[in-house]
A = this chain, B = another copy of it.
Amino acid sequence: MAIQRASLVEITMDRIKSHILENNLKENDKFLSEKELVNQLQVSRTVIREALRSLESIGILKVKPGDGTFVGSGNFDSIKTILKHHFEAYGVKIRELLEIRKVIELGALRLIIEKELKVDVHYLTEINHAYYQAIQEHTDTKAHDQLFHQQLIKETQNQTFYHFADVIQDYFSLVKMDVTQNKENLLMSYQEHQKIIQALQQKNLQTAQMVMTQHFKPVFQYIHEMEGNKS
């Protein structure tokens, strides 16, 4: 089988990536202009533009009309875009995503406790209290609940884990789930949050994981019922 020859566009993309790495360019750094790239790489502006557009779509570069080309931010927005399309094209099993969330959150608890990290109990309690207020005032509780879980991941002091979890959470939020909980369940949820905080303080992994599992129960139940309805 013949070796598949790379196109000039592909070669150009590799050259640009190498240039970024070799020059230690960081996010928002000014990159070479199209004209400079044409001169340096000795290819047409068409090839340069196709390469730049491709690198832009995966977040490596950012192109601004009239201004120039810049190194992209190191965030995972492009991965989120890919997953969004993947979700739209192929869908996803909600149960699978929920299981992944459970893996992540129970894992977070374990990391915090096994690494003997000192969690920001005050801030977590503050978030949970705001959650309680929202429950009482019948305002949006989802944001508070999500902030609580997000802060737990942050408390693991593992930035890569935090970013991956963020991507997955974003993927998860693409799924439209109408789990409208009544006040009683919401209050229970608030109490579970409180118990998780306590368990973290007491460095009790078993309890923390048990309560978190409890926390997920209503949503798993909901999905179980949805899946049952489809049978």
Task: Give the interface of A toward B (CB within 8 A).
Answer: 7, 9, 13, 17, 20-21, 46, 49-51, 53-60, 65, 74, 76, 78-79, 81-83, 85-86, 88-90, 92-93, 96-97, 99-100, 102-104, 106-108, 110-111, 156, 158-161, 164, 168
A74 to B159, CA, bound (A): 28
Residues of chain B within 8 A of A78, CB atoms compared: 58, 82
Question: A161 touching B111 by the CB < 8 A rule?
Answer: no
Question: A160 touching B20 by the CB < 8 A rule?
Answer: no
The A interface, classified by DSSP as helix, strand, loop or mixed, is helix
Residue of B nearest to A90 (CB): B74
Residues of chain B within 8 A of A21, CB atoms compared: 88-89
Residues of chain B within 8 A of A93, CB atoms compared: 159-160
Question: A110 touching B100 by the CB < 8 A rule?
Answer: no
Residues of chain B within 8 A of A106, CB atoms compared: 107, 110
Indicate which residue in B96, B103, B158 contacts A99 across the interface (CB closer than 8 Å).
B158
Residue of B nearest to A92 (CB): B160
Residue of B nearest to A88 (CB): B21
Question: A103 touching B160 by the CB < 8 A rule?
Answer: no
Question: B158 touching A96 by the CB < 8 A rule?
Answer: yes
A158 to B108, CA, bound (A): 20
Question: B88 touching A158 by the CB < 8 A rule?
Answer: no
Question: B96 touching A161 by the CB < 8 A rule?
Answer: yes
A54 to B53, CA, bound (A): 6
Indicate which residue in B7, B49, B58, B74 contacts A81 across the interface (CB closer than 8 Å).
B58
Question: B88 touching A59 by the CB < 8 A rule?
Answer: no
A203: min CB distance to chain B, Å: 16
Indicate which residue in B20, B55, B92, B161 contacts A100 across the interface (CB closer than 8 Å).
B161
Other than the known A79-B83, A99-B161, what 20 A-B pairs have Cβ atoms closer than 8 Å? A13-B57, A51-B53, A53-B53, A54-B56, A54-B57, A57-B57, A58-B58, A58-B81, A60-B82, A74-B89, A78-B82, A79-B79, A96-B161, A99-B111, A100-B164, A102-B111, A103-B110, A104-B107, A106-B110, A107-B107
